Copies of this chain bind each other. A is one copy, B any other.
Amino acid sequence: MGIVERKEREREEMRELILEAARKLFLAQGFDKTSIRNIAEAIEYSPATIYLYYKDKNELLYSLHEAGFQKMMKDFSIVEAIKDPFEKLITLGNQYLKFAIDNPELYDLMFIMDAPMETLSCREEAWDEGARSFEFLKITIAECIEAGHFKNTTDIENASLTIWSFMHGLLSLHLRKRMAFFEDDREMERIQNAFKLFIEMIKCTY
């Protein structure tokens, strides 16, 4: 009898329905301003129903987390066509910048918000999507080292963390409005210039 199969399928469809509604609302109006009741209303179910499919709001956030990493990895995949390792690294950086600026709410969720990281499942099974992205950076850097860059650096993980830190810092200062005191509206230009300078710094490193 295929009843259990059908029920399982229906359950998965319901999970997807909730997640899709959540994503739309979250990306449209932000995470804080989206309530369980909003999501329930959007799918025309009672708020309590959502709790039959997701443990709590954090688990819902966390599911979007994974989708975000998948999207980012897809954006990254275009660099695989590039042969020159350093050119690859630069393009990877540009793709990271573009991803964050095009999907600010998603980037915020993945790298800035602290709510989803408090979920237990986080340290365990998942964020290996996050770890995989970091691995991608590590591989690219390893290729750069092999091609003669980062001459005095042997610790690939350290180099990766350093580069990630800079990129993330630049973006989160922007996303969390800490560059606002510059008062002009050349914020994008400033981001581009800082990125260029950092690239120069990497180039020079003997």
Contacts and interface: CB of A to CB of B under 8 A. Distances in A.
Interface string A111-147: 1111001000011000110110010000000000000
Q: How many identical chains are in the complex?
A: 2
A202 interface: yes
A108 to B, nearest CB: 8
A179 B130 CA distance: 10
Interface residues of A, number: 46
* Chain A contact residues, majority secondary structure: helix
Given A165-B173, A168-B169, A180-B123, A152 B200 contact: yes
Interface stretch (A53-61, A81-89, A190-198): A190-198
A155 interface: yes
